[in-house]
Amino acid sequence: MDLKDSRAIVTGGASGLGAATVAWFRQQGAQVVVLDRAAGDGPQHVQADVTSADSAAAAIAQAVDRMGGIDICVNCAGIVIGEKTLGRNGPHDLDSFRRVVEVNLIGSFNILRLAAAEMAKNGRTENGVIVNTASIAAFDGQKGQAAYAASKAGIAGMTLPLARDLAALGIRVCAIAPGIFATPMLRGLPQEVQDGLAAEVTCPPRLGDSAEFARLAAHIVENAYLNGEVIRLDGALRMR
């Protein structure tokens, strides 16, 4: 699928990996509607709660109304917490665990299921492409990452079943598992912490650039033989 003149939705598109994806897709000639919980200006931004069936349906309807349909769905909306299973203050808070899974995993599925229904109406050989955001935490989860790792492992685990489910409709599904990226959240850490994280990356020994994520998402869209795959984008980092 050519990005030029395609119609894309990007969740979490107001910042970080999502914002970089929006910028790159638009630069390549795609129409993009941003779905984000943060309010935004302009007709190409829709405020949406990805965990809500009603909110997601309304947001998808608005995106279709503004672009005439959907060809691409990139799910970047996500949250992270750090909490041990059993810490100084007792067991892991159940509500916080549930919230991470709800946003990262269920939220992604909520949006993609609705986007797929719109893609199926396109009536082409290749009707759509879905790109979800996993994480290397799905495979190399660290202390305090039980909730986050579980949510991202769910993203990785549903990739192949989704691809198989949607194959007859001409819709491909892949996921990107990023390593340590220089998102606004990470840039808020002290510089020495950032430098220490970057030094762990095998090659190149630096933090990932959000533009690199965006270009991989674009490549997945444009490479018709990529399907059902979870692609690590981490500079060969394997977390200890």
So which residues are the catalytic ones? Answer: 148
Distance CA 216, CA 199 (A): 23
Rounded CA separation 205/230 (Å): 23
Question: Integer distance in angstroms from the first to the last C-alpha of the chain?
Answer: 38
Tokens at residue 217, please? Answer: 């998402």
